[in-house]
Amino acid sequence: MQKYSQAVRCVAIFGNYYQTSNCKYVARVIEALQRHGVAVEIERKFAEFLLSQDAGIAPSLARLSQVDALSKDVELVLSMGGDGTFLNTAEKLGHQQLPILGVNTGRLGFLADVMTDNIETAVAQLAAGQYTISERSVIETRIAHPDFDVYPYALNEVAVLKHDNSSLIKVETFVDGEFLNSYVADGLIVSTPTGSTGYALSVGGPVLSPDSATFCLAPVAPHSLSMRPMVLSDRVTLQLKVKSRTGKFLVAIDGRSESLPEETLITLRRADYKVLVVKMPGNDFFSTLRHKMMWGADQR
């Protein structure tokens, strides 16, 4: 589902803490926002990183509010980096329901799809209210283990994976309490439609439309060729139980991994909130697929 939105008057900027090239792009974003009369807040840790890397950005940052918690005036968040940074930004915002626009200062990105040479145009469109918001479903993870302390929500995927040797694991999988299958493989990925263009795609999973209200189960290097990706309604509850020769396995929630003992019960269901993704004119899901996956391109 997409909805059109109003002109933006206050934004917050988040970013990663390792790309030194961010500095020049953040300065461009700040200058463009201020030219259009948009107030700017910047996450304090990100501001400290930028200052430690490039003193040239100091004048731009000095005019901004550097905050640990966003004010009630913030209407939209800019994520400076790649898709990994976008996922980290979504984690930090949690249930706040603020729309996120990804500015891609990295490589291929499906979430961070505003390229650096379009920064000024994108900012002008934000200030004019020329953008849409796509609502993306999230997976909630419940794990029956007292030491589990990873943020339990995934915009892309939850993966259970073998731990530290070449032996396969067995993932017993239940759908609404009914036994589905025992996946004997290097692992099993449960992805949202958003995550279908990420890890799940790399193991042969299908591309899912963001509004399709589905989960995809995609095995990683399965022992049997009959184990194929499967698409389910996201109204179901999934339960996973892993058996491993090493007695342990990894669970990765949007890349945040934790080691767990075998037989730990993992319950997955659609979360009670959605992540709001800002899309600029011309950057709809299908045009992004054609451009970034080169669909229909003659590569001879």
What are the pLDDT digits (tens) for 114-159? 988 999 999 999 999 999 999 999 999 999 888 888 899 999 999 9
pLDDT digits (tens, 9 = 90+) for 13-65: 999 888 777 788 998 999 999 999 999 999 999 988 888 886 678 877 877 88
Instruction: Determine, yes or no, domain membership for 297.
Output: no
Does residue 179 sit in the same domain as residue 104?
Answer: no
pLDDT tops 80 at residue 70:
yes
Q: Please report the pLDDT score of residue 108 as a whole number.
A: 67
Does residue 99 sit in the same domain as residue 14?
Answer: yes
pLDDT digits (tens, 9 = 90+) for 19-31: 777 788 998 999 9
pLDDT digits (tens, 9 = 90+) for 197-248: 999 999 999 999 999 999 999 999 999 888 999 999 999 999 999 999 999 9
Q: Label residue 11 by pLDDT band (50, 70, 90).
A: very high
Query: Is 83 marked active-site?
Result: yes
Written as six digits, the tokens of 144 are 């029956």
Q: Please report the pLDDT score of residue 173 as a whole number.
A: 98
Does residue 165 sit in the same domain as residue 231?
Answer: yes
The pTM of this model reads 0.92
Q: What are phi and psi of 90, to 5 degrees?
A: -60, -40
Nearest-angstrom CA–CA distance, 267 and 143? 6
Active-site option among 54, 68, 73, 83: 83
Q: Looking at residue 226, which CATH number applies to its domain?
A: 2.60.200.30
- Give the 3-state secondary structure of the chain: CEEECCCCCEEEEEECCCCCCHHHHHHHHHHHHHHCCCEEEEEHHHHHHHHHHCHHHHHHHHCCEEECCCCCCCCEEEEEECHHHHHHHHHHHHHHCCCEEEEECCCCCCCCCEEHHHHHHHHHHHHHCCCEEEEECCEEEEECCCCCCCCCEECCEEEEECCCCCCCEEEEEEECCEEEEEEEECEEEEECCHHHHCHHHHCCCCCCCCCCCEEEEEEECCCCCCCCCEEEECCCCEEEEEEECCCEEEEEECCEEEEEECCCEEEEEECCCCEEEEECCCCCHHHHHHHHCCCCCCCC
Residue ranges making up the domain that contains 216 = 139-270
Q: Please report the pLDDT score of residue 62 as a whole number.
A: 75
Instruction: Determine, yes or no, domain membership for 300.
Output: no
Instruction: Specify the residue for token string 């915009």.
Output: 155
Q: Label residue 182 by pLDDT band (50, 70, 90).
A: very high
Structurally, the chain folds into a number of domains equal to: 2
Does residue 120 sit in the same domain as residue 109?
Answer: yes
pLDDT digits (tens, 9 = 90+) for 236-288: 999 999 999 999 999 999 999 999 999 999 999 999 999 999 999 887 788 77
Does residue 240 sit in the same domain as residue 218?
Answer: yes
Does residue 131 sit in the same domain as residue 278?
Answer: yes
